[in-house]
Chain A
């Protein structure tokens, strides 16, 4: 069946449609990468929605002076490789030639491992993530991201200048037999890193909780008084703050966290959709600490493939309890980022570059204060004195675990 498309200059196109492939116009538009907001769908000349079935009397009007046929079919220049397992894509803009091209490189197993490790090492180098003669703390939960981070640091220890590394893991109460916790204990031994297990007693003490943390954790996971957002916030905040407190006791203020590309870019999206003040990425100075995110240019999928190929003995992590109480909004942000990479492959390089400039302007606007309960650094955006307690401790207070 032939569908006609008229652009804003009255140029006429046709699309020969296999009606077995699509049932409604929206599916056809998606297939041809035509945004629904750029076309008016007509049936027998009358405006209809894109949800109507495809019939011979359907036509499409492009409503802007865009060269949509070209924009929806950007040329692809690909380096082919035998036995490829992954395609690294990036969209490049040649403003002089007024041309956008998608570059794709197919990677086989060996190429993939090289690219992954080099991206990690180049991120550390480019952002000076291992300052000379300074101790580094590495948050190691045993999950895929932190395991990859610790393994590459271990593998390239000499190349990184023999840094003074200490890994930090939260005690796995009742989970001692689980793989995730086992990996977190094994890897520091493998590379002879100093390793520190943070106990639940230390958490109870640091947050001044009136019950043992094991009990508090159990109640938080089960309670219906908290939203999934609040549950994620309090558990993640507790983990992060405990790494900070323990590392500071060891005289360590440079902390490596294994947040990946989507984790970090979803925060960039959050900044742009809320307008809140934010610190820079992928190096984040939160006095007195500096956080480093060496997985900033690597996606979750890349991390998963890397471990599968390079260290298959470390891929059987149990699902985190945080996942079960995960916030739908946070999950949407992650998915949105992955959708975005499909529309504009390589946008992360531009977003991080822009974010660095924008957060530099914000830097002087940020007023820091401290949580009166756990001592965590806060960004004080308002005059509200209740802000003097961090989000995590406010939740502990709400549930009656602290005064």
Chain B
């Protein structure tokens, strides 16, 4: 079965690449970011211990 409804189809997106003046890749800032994220994810798990990642 060949799909022919090409008019309704949209193009698979391309990766959006943009530039910025400064990206902070220092160890301390990346550690801080990881700590915040793991704490927020852990909170989600505490609220729903049967399934840490909300099922899709």
Contact = CB atoms under 8 A, between A and B. Distances in A.
Interface of A: 2, 4-6, 11-16, 32, 44-45, 56-57, 59, 64-66, 69-70, 73-80, 88, 90, 92-93, 95, 103-105, 115, 118-119, 122-123, 126, 297, 346, 349-350, 353-354
Contacts of B12: 5, 13-15, 32, 69
A56 B2 contact: yes
B25 A103 contact: yes
A13 B11 contact: yes
Given A4-B9, A105-B23, A346-B30, A78 B17 contact: yes
A357 to B, nearest CB: 8
Contacts of A44: 1-2
B33 A75 contact: no
B19 A80 contact: yes
Contacts of A76: 15-18
B54 to A, nearest CB: 11
B14 to A, nearest CB: 7
A13 B9 contact: yes
Given A12-B8, A78-B19, A78-B20, A88 B25 contact: yes
Nearest to A89: B25
A75 B21 CA distance: 16
Given A44-B1, A56-B2, A103-B23, A70 B30 contact: no
Given A78-B23, A353-B35, A73 B13 contact: yes
Contacts of B47: none
Contact of A353 (B21, B22, B38): B38
Given A350-B34, A350-B37, 6 more contacts: A14-B10, A15-B11, A44-B2, A57-B2, A59-B3, A76-B16
Given A70-B13, A104-B23, A78 B18 contact: yes
Contacts, number: 106
Contacts of B19: 77-80
Nearest to B29: A90
Q: Looking at chain B's contact residues, is the secondary structure mostly helix, strand, loop, or mixed? A: loop
B34 A79 contact: no
B25 A105 contact: yes
Contacts of A69: 12-13
Interface residues of B, number: 34
B27 A119 contact: yes
A14 B11 contact: yes
| Nearest 6 A/B pairs, CB to CB | A45-B1, A349-B34, A12-B9, A105-B23, A79-B23, A73-B15
A64 B15 contact: no
Interface of B: 1-3, 5-6, 8-23, 25-28, 30-31, 33-35, 37-38, 40, 56
A93 B19 CA distance: 18
A187 B27 CA distance: 27
A29 B28 CA distance: 36
A173 B19 CA distance: 54
Contacts of A77: 18-20, 23
Contacts of A103: 23, 25
B21 to A, nearest CB: 7
B2 A95 contact: no
Given A12-B8, A45-B1, A349 B33 contact: yes
B33 A65 contact: no
Contacts of A95: 37, 40
Contact of A75 (B5, B17, B28, B35): B17
Contacts of B10: 11-14
Contacts of B6: 2, 4, 14
A12 B3 contact: yes
Nearest to B18: A77
A159 B15 CA distance: 43
Given A79-B23, A119-B27, A123-B27, A14 B9 contact: yes
Nearest to B7: A12
A57 B1 CA distance: 7
A210 B52 CA distance: 55
A66 B15 contact: no
Contacts of B26: 115, 118-119, 122
A14 B7 CA distance: 10
